[in-house]
Structure 1
Amino acid sequence: MSNIARILALSLLALGMFIYPQEVLSSAGGGLTLWWRFVLPALLPFFILSELLMASGFVHFLGVLLESFMRPIFRLPGKAAFVVAMGYTSGFPMGAVLTARLRSEKDLTQEEGERLLAFTNNPSPGFMFGAVASGMLGKPALGILLASSVYLANLMVGFLFRFYKAEQKSQQSFTPPSLKRAWLEMRKAQNQDQRTLGQILGDAVRQSTNTVLMVAGFMAFFSVILRLLNQWNITLFLAAFSHRMIPEIQVPVFQALFNGLFEMTLGCQEAIQSLTFLNQQIALLTLLMGWGGLSVFAQVAGLISSTDLRFSSFVIARTLHAFIALSLSQFLLTVTKIPTSNLAIPIPDSSILFWNTWHLSSMVFLGCMSLLILFSMVRVRKLR
């Protein structure tokens, strides 16, 4: 974007905020409410946990054991497995936070960082099961289908990205994993970190709080922008124009699509309201959740701005993820029989939703870690 276009866009935004102060206030409040109810419980505990695990050397321990798994499948070092587990557990933008951290510490090459960034950003399990399946659809069982489509699609994107910059061979030599070497690597990482336990905990809480507050700022700001776009009927104009090009698709569906491409949660709500048939609702929901929204794009761009990771590869990966997730969801709908009766489950209050989201994310994290550790033990025995 040129400087003139940037200044013009910011001037229009400022003008809109002055003309519609009430809309700005309500949309910003709505974005922050969404952050408090869904994002904060899914992110903050795991941000702190990831910082503590990295400081303890656990990532180095896991990296040695899972090198023989991550290299052939994803062309990534074993340490990337920790980012995969945390990204799938906590949702946006945990994968970007940890990928940028590993790249800054030279644990990943530029190409490896871009491969890892491509498939470690998802909606959180709490959002898919709690907010969308139970809250918006009123069909909790569909959370299994939504999560399966999104997670499997992202793993497929990760496998496809193993061919990204494939001509550039890794400079690291492969050594068979062993528990002794993994333990030594963990001890070495602990010895290199001279901070006390209190300093480590304080730094973890401070850095995690700053990051999750940054996410809140992005959500509030993009909620305001989207409200102004709707106030000026820009998304309605785009939807009407698209309807003229493709008359089979109604204007509300296109409007839900455009709103969802900008902000995922609002698009998911409108997708359910604008579509009647379940397979169509699921198709648009998985498309939007695979894409993530421009608000998430801005968060990722800000998090990797201090590194040399290219943002274009992330955009390509999100596009692939969106269409693969849509295709998988329709396939799973045809081959599985998931009860989809409308249970009319109300969205719980904030305190209950906080604990439900925390419990679900914790279960996913423990499951990911257990599978990774179990696989590492099997690999150690086979390669002895």
Structure 2
Amino acid sequence: MSIVLFPKTSVSAALKGINICLNIVFPSLFPFLAASEILNRTSFTKAAGILLEPIMRPLFNVPGCGSFAVAMGITSGYPVGAKITVDLRNSGQISKYEGERLLAFTNNSGPLFIVGAVATGMYAMPRLGFFLLLCHILSGLTVGLLFKYYCFGKTKPRDSKNSAANKNFPSKVPNNTLDRLKQEILKNKNSKGSFGAIFGDAIKNSVSVMLLIGGFITFFSVLINLLIDIGVIEIISLPFTFILSFAGFTSEAVYSLICGFFEITTGSNMIASTGNIPFALKLSLASMIIGWAGLSVHSQVLGIVSQSDLSIRPYLAGKSLHGLIASVYTYVLFKLAGHYFDFESQVIASFEGITEYNWLESFLYSCKVLVFAFIFMIVILGIIKFVHLAKGLIYR
């Protein structure tokens, strides 16, 4: 009914959502999705996980292969972290509880959105993007440390009912890390799957996920604009405005925060244009919205998680904590070190600046970040392997 009553709003919002999907989301996420599919199918995550087990298990109480979800979740953007976690679960590499721990903190906003869209497009402050990105990463890792104790002591078999990959786990696993790594490499060499088949499946699965993401983005773009035009958001914001006014929140800030509850881009843009509140509070609210991500992103994650036996509730709890912790980190760090960056002296721009990004720029930027992330992981794996070799020579 609302679409019929407000056809102009519906069509313009749908076109805006489609434009964001084609020019920003698809080129920025597709390389990460395809690369993660290929690396997971070629057992890269298993081999890397063997070396990174001594780091991931004490910190986050997850296997070493979870490091791949952490690294890609930080560098790519929503919802790549969730997709990788579900793939790890369905391939039997992690248990149900381990998957839910990973899901709670590995699905994060990427540098392209925070630095490009928020800092550069909305605030015209590129340096601000790295500050917000730092707070976002720190808060995500904090959530991971807290969720280390989620279902602590409980165990679930790694076999997933959605996968026959349990046969890939040998009944007898060597204790020595290097022996386990050699065993995994040899097993991968003896696999019958050709790279052409793996590459084709990766492209097909990635396009399927991208269509799902694009559908949710377009739907929520229409929904949030209709709710604004109808006045539903304004009605919802009235009681919250009364309560939060004692903490210095204006009606505009509360209105923007509620919009951000539904959709991250709309809420972030509204916060950027909100006046009459301290700049530190404005950045804190922006971090809260980015950390929470919005119902639009959560719907995308729900569509992906539904393909596994993972529960969505730990994820929602983790994103709620992520938003709260990110807002606190941003406010405190800005008060302690914000004067060194001189953010407020720069001119605030509107979100229209993000339209300057075309699909090719987004794609190239995404590929560049992917290469750097891959090189970083290779360097870390090399250092860990060198340490293991050194220990072996010492104790031999």
Give the structure-2-normalised TM-score. 0.87
Runs of 5+ in structure 1 lacking a partner?
1-14
- Mapped contact 2:280–2:335 kept (Cα < 8 A): no
**Residue 187 of structure 1: how far off its partner (Å):** 3.1
2: CA distance, partners of 1:90 / 1:60: 20
**Residue 246 of structure 1: how far off its partner (Å):** 3.2
- Mapped contact 2:24–2:357 kept (Cα < 8 A): no
Q: Percent of counterpart pairs with the same letter?
A: 31
Partner of 2:304: 303
**Residue 378 of structure 1: how far off its partner (Å):** 4.9
2: CA distance, partners of 1:334 / 1:366: 34
Runs of 5+ in structure 2 lacking a partner?
159-172
- Mapped contact 1:38–1:357 kept (Cα < 8 A): no
Query: 3-state DSSP class of the match of 1:119?
Result: helix
Change (3 A) 1:16 1:344: closer
Change (3 A) 1:344 1:244: closer
Q: Which has the higher mean CA deviation after the structures are superposed, 338-347 or 273-282? A: 338-347
2: CA distance, partners of 1:224 / 1:116: 31
1:60 lines up with 2:46 in the alignment: yes
Partner of 1:332: 333
Partner of 2:261: 261
The match for 2:206 among 202, 205, 208 is 208
Change (3 A) 1:238 1:326: same
- Mapped contact 2:95–2:157 kept (Cα < 8 A): no
Q: How does 1:268-283 map to 2 (within 5 A)?
A: 268-276=268-276, 277-283=278-284
Q: How does 1:350-365 map to 2 (within 5 A)?
A: 350-351=358-359, 353-355=361-363, 357-358=365-366, 361-362=369-370, 365=373
Q: How does 1:197-236 map to 2 (within 5 A)?
A: 197-236=195-234
Change (3 A) 1:116 1:45: same
Partner of 1:41: 27
1:232-278 CA-to-partner distances (Å, cap 9, x unmatched) read 10101112232223334221111100000100010000001113532
**Number of positions where the alignment pairs a residue of Structure 1 with one of Structure 2:** 368
**Residue 382 of structure 1: how far off its partner (Å):** 5.7
Change (3 A) 1:259 1:375: farther
2: CA distance, partners of 1:17 / 1:284: 31
The match for 1:243 among 241, 244, 247 is 241
Q: How does 1:114-133 map to 2 (within 5 A)?
A: 114-133=100-119
Partner of 1:342: 346
2: CA distance, partners of 1:33 / 1:242: 33
1:372 lines up with 2:371 in the alignment: no
The match for 2:92 among 106, 117, 126 is 106
- Mapped contact 1:88–1:124 kept (Cα < 8 A): yes
1:82 lines up with 2:68 in the alignment: yes
**Residue 158 of structure 1: how far off its partner (Å):** 0.4
Cα RMSD of the aligned pairs, angstroms, is 2.2
Aligned residue identity for 2:47: F
1:177-208 CA-to-partner distances (Å, cap 9, x unmatched) read 22x5313303313533x332221111111111
1: CA distance, partners of 2:13 / 2:49: 43
Which stretches of structure 1, 4 residues or longer, exceed 6 Å deviation after superposition? 170-174
**Residue 360 of structure 1: how far off its partner (Å):** 5.4
Give the structure-1-normalised TM-score. 0.89
Change (3 A) 1:114 1:208: same
2: CA distance, partners of 1:185 / 1:326: 42
Q: Which has the higher mean CA deviation after the structures are superposed, 68-77 or 356-365? A: 356-365
